[in-house]
Amino acid sequence: MIAATSPLNSATPIPAPNPTRTRRPHRLWLPSLSESRFRAAGTRMDFLQRVVGGACFRGSMRQGIKVEVDSAGVDVFDAAAAANNNNAVPEHLVVMVNGIIGSASDWRYAADQFVKKLPDKVIVHPSECNSSRLTFDGVDLMGERLAEEVLAVVRKRSEVRKISFVAHSLGGLVARYAIGRLYEPSPKPEASGDNGICLIEGYTNNLTQSLDQPNQGTIAGLQAMNFITVATPHLGSRGNKQLPFLCGLPFLERRASEAAHFIVGRSGKHLFLTDKDDGRPPLLLRMVNDSDDLKFISSLRAFKRRVAYANANFDHMVGWRTSSIRRQHELPKSNLLVIDEKYPHIVHVKQETFDDIHNNALSAAEEQNIDLEEKMIRGLTQIPWERVDVSFQKSRQRLIAHNTIQVKRYWLNSDGADVVFHIIDYFLL
Confidence (pLDDT) at 70: 59
Average pLDDT score over residue span 315-340: 89
Mark out the alpha helices in 289-394 (DSSP H runs). 296-301, 320-324, 354-364, 372-380
Q: What is the CATH number of the domain that holds 407?
A: 3.40.50.1820
Q: How far apart are CA 222 and CA 15, in angstroms?
A: 23
For residue 286, which phi and psi values (nearest 5 degrees)?
-65, -25
Cβ contacts of 253 within 8 Å, gap of 6 or more: 238, 240, 243, 246
Share of the chain above pLDDT 70, in %: 71
Number of residues assigned to the chain: 429
Q: How would residue 370 be classed by pLDDT, with cut points 50, 70 and 90? A: confident
Asked if residue 198 has pLDDT above 50, the reply is no
Asked if residue 374 has pLDDT above 50, the reply is yes
Confidence (pLDDT) at 17: 47
Nearest residue to 68 via CA among 329, 383, 78, 267: 78
Q: Which of 237-246, 306-315, 340-349 has the lowest mean pLDDT?
A: 237-246
Determine the Cα angle at 202 with ends 197 and 205, to 5°.
Answer: 25
Confidence (pLDDT) at 81: 73
Higher pLDDT, 304 or 215: 304
Q: How far apart are CA 276 and CA 370, in angstroms?
A: 20
For residue 211, which phi and psi values (nearest 5 degrees)?
-70, -35
Asked if residue 115 has pLDDT above 50, the reply is yes
Nearest residue to 312 via CA among 328, 297, 299, 301: 328
Average pLDDT score over residue span 71-91: 73
For residue 71, which phi and psi values (nearest 5 degrees)?
-65, -20
74, 57 contact by CB (below 8 A) = yes
Report the number of secondary-structure helices (H) and strands (E) in the chain: 17, 12
Confidence (pLDDT) at 337: 75
Average pLDDT value for the chain? 79
Asked if residue 7 has pLDDT above 90, the reply is no
Average pLDDT score over residue span 162-186: 97
165: which strand partners? Answer: 95, 227
Average pLDDT score over residue span 291-309: 95
DSSP 242: S
94: which strand partners? Answer: 124, 164
Q: What is the pLDDT of residues 121-147, one digit of tens each?
A: 999 999 999 999 999 999 999 999 999
320, 402 contact by CB (below 8 A) = no
Confidence (pLDDT) at 279: 84
Confidence (pLDDT) at 362: 58
Confidence (pLDDT) at 171: 98
Average pLDDT score over residue span 151-169: 96
Burial of residue 38 (number of CB atoms within 10 Å: 0-12, 13-18, 19+): middle
Asked if residue 104 has pLDDT above 50, the reply is yes
For residue 225, which phi and psi values (nearest 5 degrees)?
-110, -70
Q: What is the dihedral of CA 240, 246, 249, 251, to 10 degrees?
A: -100
Q: For 88, what's the count of Cα atoms within 13 Å in the CB-facing half-sphere?
A: 11
Higher pLDDT, 99 or 23: 99
Out of 69-78, 80-89, 400-409, give the one with best mean pLDDT: 400-409
Domains held by the chain: number: 1
Domain enclosing residue 321, as ranges: 2-425
414: how many CB neighbours lie within 10 A of its CB?
A: 14
Confidence (pLDDT) at 86: 67
DSSP 94: E
Nearest residue to 169 via CA among 212, 231, 261: 231
Confidence (pLDDT) at 187: 77
Q: What is the pLDDT of residues 220-271, one digit of tens each?
A: 999 999 999 999 999 998 887 778 757 766 767 677 677 777 888 999 999 9
Query: What element of type H or E holds 39?
Result: helix 35-54
Out of 80-84, 121-125, 331-335, give the one with best mean pLDDT: 121-125
Determine the Cα angle at 257 with ends 251 and 259, to 5°.
Answer: 100
Average pLDDT score over residue span 369-381: 91
Q: How far apart are CA 149 and CA 17, in angstroms?
A: 13
Q: What is the pLDDT of residues 8-21, one digit of tens each?
A: 544 445 554 454 44
Entry pTM? 0.79
